[in-house]
């Protein structure tokens, strides 16, 4: 259980869902973890749980759509742990609307949280990763970053952007020994997924049953996605960069 021993990691959106599961898993594997989120209560609870198990973790309040806050979060992580090795750009939001009924404000918000944040966090993290002799960046895209989805125009656009951003960054920073990949999860049992039911005017039970309609006949649990993130973060994936890893129970198939 030491696959990340001696590593320092930042996880955005780390207070709940996939981010929280990944923070806990990284810590169990020996990493020092910075949980970055705007939810102070849940973020602090995540860190307290990690610390109670004897691992190193800090909570950093950060609006990942703001450059100065992203820069400060990276700097605070480096100061706390003495360096930086892994960045998991996991923060994300969704609006279940089509192009006609999406407001300009909602479009800008989804693109800012899902795409701009990954750009900003990477911008400030890469110099420290390079200084350490290399590192890993993982973006959280989606199955809907590889194909379209109903009533989710801004989300699909943002997640598609992350897939190609992954490829471009892998090309730009490979010479610095920085690997850049993204994950493309299918429906996963998180607060964000369950919130979609209300946005679509469906009952939660009906919505979750629909989410399970895939070859494995179930939706994912956050730990199942976290295990894939862990794989990409370790030396087991040392020759993988520029890739989009699908984790969706066969949904795209």
CA dihedral over 39, 153, 66, 90, signed as positive or negative:
positive
What confidence score (pLDDT) does residue 170 get?
A: 99
pLDDT bucket at 1, cuts 50 / 70 / 90: confident
Domain membership of residue 194 (yes or no) is no
How do residues 27-67 score in pLDDT, each as one tens digit?
999 999 999 999 999 999 999 999 999 999 999 999 999 99
Domain membership of residue 195 (yes or no) is no
Say if CB 19 and CB 33 are below 8 A apart: no
Say if CB 90 and CB 141 are below 8 A apart: no
| SS3 assignment, position 41 | helix
What confidence score (pLDDT) does residue 64 get?
A: 98
Give the DSSP H/E element, type plus range, for residue 114. none
- Domain range enclosing 51: 8-186+229-235
Domain membership of residue 1 (yes or no) is no
CA angle 80, 64, 175 (to 5 degrees): 70
Domain membership of residue 46 (yes or no) is yes
Q: How many domains does the chain have?
A: 1
Say if CB 78 and CB 128 are below 8 A apart: yes
How do residues 102-133 score in pLDDT, each as one tens digit?
999 999 999 999 999 999 999 999 999 999 99
Domain membership of residue 176 (yes or no) is yes
What confidence score (pLDDT) does residue 12 get?
A: 98
Domain membership of residue 137 (yes or no) is yes
What CATH number is associated with residue 70? 3.40.50.720
Domain membership of residue 17 (yes or no) is yes
| SS3 assignment, position 134 | coil
How do residues 188-240 score in pLDDT, each as one tens digit?
999 999 999 999 999 999 999 999 999 999 999 999 999 999 999 999 999 99
Q: Is 155 a catalytic residue?
A: yes
What confidence score (pLDDT) does residue 131 get?
A: 96
From 124, 155, 219, 239, the catalytic residue: 155
pTM: 0.97
Mean pLDDT of 178-195: 97
Domain membership of residue 39 (yes or no) is yes
CA 53 and chain centroid, separation: 23
Kindly report the number of other CB atoms within 10 A of residue 87's CB atom: 31
């Amino acid at each position: 259980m030491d696959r990340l021993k001696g590593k320092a990691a930042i996880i955005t959106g780390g207070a709940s869902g996939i981010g929280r599961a990944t923070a806990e898993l990284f810590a169990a594997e020996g990493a020092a973890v910075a949980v970055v989120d705007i939810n102070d209560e849940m973020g602090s609870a995540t860190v307290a749980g990690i610390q109670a198990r004897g691992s190193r973790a800090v909570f950093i309040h950060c609006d990942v759509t703001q450059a100065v806050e992203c820069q400060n979060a990276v700097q605070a992580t480096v100061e706390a742990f003495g360096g930086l090795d892994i960045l998991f750009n996991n923060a994300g939001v969704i609006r279940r609307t089509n192009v006609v009924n999406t407001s300009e404000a909602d479009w800008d918000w989804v693109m800012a949280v899902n795409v701009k944040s990954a750009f900003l966090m990477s911008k400030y993290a890469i110099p420290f990763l390079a200084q350490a002799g290399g590192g890993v960046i993982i973006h959280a895209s989606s199955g809907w970053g590889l194909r379209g989805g109903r009533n989710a125009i801004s989300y699909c656009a943002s997640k598609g952007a992350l897939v190609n951003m992954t490829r471009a960054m892998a090309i730009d920073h490979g010479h610095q020994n920085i690997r850049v990949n993204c994950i493309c999860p299918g429906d996963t049992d998180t607060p964000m997924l369950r919130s979609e039911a209300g946005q679509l005017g469906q009952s939660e039970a009906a919505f979750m049953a629909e989410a399970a309609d895939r070859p494995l006949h179930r939706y994912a649990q956050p730990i199942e996605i976290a295990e894939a993130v862990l794989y990409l973060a370790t030396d087991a994936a040392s020759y993988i960069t520029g890739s989009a890893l699908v984790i969706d129970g066969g949904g795209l198939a």
